Structure formats: structure tokens, C-alpha cells
Amino acid sequence: MEEIQKLAKKVLSVLEMKDLKLAIAESVTGGLASHLITNISGASKVFIGGVVCYSALSKNIMLDVDWSLINDYGTVSPEVTEALLDGLKKDAADIGVAIVGVGGRKIEGKPTGLIYIGTGTHVCNQVHELNFSGSRTEIKKKAVKKAFELLLEELEKL
């Protein structure tokens, strides 16, 4: 977990250096990414906030994910991940990250360990499909670590 916390610090440092604001939408990780960000003193300078949108209903209500996307593709899909990013960017965020996936038992016919991580700015979104193994806790940690790595990659482009 120490390595992931170091990545979170680096993310915040780059955000502050570039004067950018971050928002996070988390499903499978249940708030772990936001938790690690808010463990860092001064995070409020660049972190707008995080939304734990664990259920389909919360994705629809909190971040305006259209029911047709959820019904057609499932909550664990690139399409829903991108819609979550769009919901985040409607606010004051310059960059967002969305994490959805299957951390425990199979859902929607999708295997345990299937994760979609999206990063997005007002210019474009990118969604990555990943597969992790391990326990629910291990999958959550791996997903957050990868999300921070992808976020740093995107920040380097800005």
C-alpha cells in the first residue's frame, strides 16, 4: 500500500504544479483511490472529490449515466466508464478518473478481475481494459495503483 500512497502523492504534486483539478468516480474500488488521495495533507487544493457509485442506480443518479448504456452494455463496460468520466467533467474538474470492474463474484457474466479504468479531460477520454487476479482487496489495490499510473501518464500530456 505504501507504493500506491507514493503514487497518490506524485499525482497530487503534478496536479498542483500544473494547476489542475481532479475528480474520481469509483465503483469496484469503493472509495479507496479517494481515501488515499485525501490521506495527503493539502489534497483539497487540487482534489474536488470522489463519487462512490457502486450500484447501477447510483451511476445513473449521481453521474447521469444513461439507463440505456447500463442496460445495453452493463455497469462493467467501457461505455459506462466513459459516461462516468463525462459526468465528472461536467463539474469543475480538469481531469477525471473512473474505475469500474468485478472485484468479487462474477457479475453480468463478466469474470472476476475484469477492470475498466478511464481517464479523461475536456478534450478526450481513454478507457483501458485490464484483468487482475487475487482477492477482492488485492484487485482493488491493483486497480487503484493502475489508475494512478494512467492518471500520471495523462497528466504528462497536459
Nearest to 115 by CA among 96, 135, 98: 98
Q: What is the pLDDT of residue 104?
A: 83
> How far apart (Å, rounded) are the C-alpha atoms in residues 46 and 94?
10
> What is the number of domains present in the chain?
1
Q: What is the pLDDT of residue 106?
A: 76
State whether residue 10 is helix, strand or coil.
helix
* 78 DSSP 8-state letter: H
Q: Which residues pair with 116 in a beta bridge?
A: 100, 129
Domain assignment of residue 35, given as a range: 2-157
Q: For a pLDDT cut of 90, what percent of the chain falls above it?
A: 88
Complete DSSP assignment for 102-133: -SSS-BTTBPTTEEEEEEEESS-EEEEEEE--
> How deeply is 77 buried, as exposed, middle or buried, from its count of CB atoms within 10 A (0-12, 13-18, 19+)?
buried
Q: What is the pLDDT of residue 123?
A: 86
Q: Which residues pair with 120 in a beta bridge?
A: 96, 125
Residues of the chain with pLDDT below 50 are: none
- CATH number of the domain that 53 lies in? 3.90.950.20
Q: What is the pLDDT of residue 108?
A: 80
Q: What is the pLDDT of residue 91?
A: 66
> How far apart (Å, rounded) are the C-alpha atoms in residues 37 and 5?
8
Task: Count the Cβ atoms, other than its own, within 10 Å of residue 53.
Answer: 23
Contact 140, 26 (CB under 8 A): no
